[in-house]
Amino acid sequence: MAVVYPGAGNIGGGGFMVATLKNKPPVALDYRETAPAGASKDMYLDADGNANSEKSLYGHLSAGVPGTVAGLFASHRFAKLPMQVLIQPAIDLAEKGFVITEGEAQALNNARESFEKYNTQTPVLVKAKGWKKETHWYKKTWPIL
């Protein structure tokens, strides 16, 4: 889902795992996002000490450090299959591309202004002619683990 439906969360987010294991105590993992190491209590204040909610909601200062990848590896100790087998379908989709729906194309096109506003370089999510239904993602669009 992180490759074909990134809006669902996943690699850029965090989560929880609660599992019941055969003949073992239950397991709970918390791998939610955390604040960046450089975060400070005043980072969302303007020069007058007033809260600037735009900074906390949009752009690079609004991001937490994702916990999902760490959570995947922490939970892997309970898996039966090797990590490479588990993540290979996502790698294949990211490398070979996939078809997007009309709604996904429209969502990407609607977000174009924000993508451009909050990035110092044009991100891969911005296409010059816009996204269209059944547009294939180009190979290597997403970074691969």
The CA distance from 125 to 93, in Å, is 16
Tell me which residue range forms the domain holding 124: 81-145
Q: How many domains does the chain have?
A: 1
Give Cβ neighbours of residue 85 (< 8 Å, ≥ 6 apart). Answer: none
Tokens of 67: 């916990």
Q: Is residue 49 part of a domain?
A: no
The reply to whether 44 falls in a domain is no
pLDDT value at residue 136: 55
Asked, for residue 20, whether it belongs to a domain, the answer is no
Both tokens of 31, joined, read: 């791998």
- Residue ranges in the chain assigned as alpha helix (H): 53-57, 68-75, 83-96, 102-110, 112-117
Residue 112 within a domain: yes
Q: What is the pLDDT of residues 63-114, one digit of tens each?
A: 888 898 899 899 999 988 999 999 899 889 888 888 888 888 898 899 999 9
pLDDT class of 142 with cuts at 50, 70, 90: very low
Asked if residue 5 is part of any domain, the answer here is no
Per the domain annotation, does 99 fall within a domain? yes
Asked whether residue 38 is assigned to any structural domain, the reply reads no
The pLDDT of residue 50 is above 70: yes
CA–CA separation, 13 and 2 (whole Å) = 10
The more confidently predicted of residues 53 and 2 is 53
Q: What angle do CA 63, 79, 8 make, to 5 degrees?
A: 30
Per-residue pLDDT for 145 more than 50? no
Q: Within a domain: residue 74?
A: no
**Per-residue pLDDT tens for 2-32?**
778 777 767 778 889 999 988 999 999 999 9
The encoded tokens of residue 58 equal 């949009």
Q: For residue 75, what pLDDT is reported?
A: 92
Global pTM reads 0.63
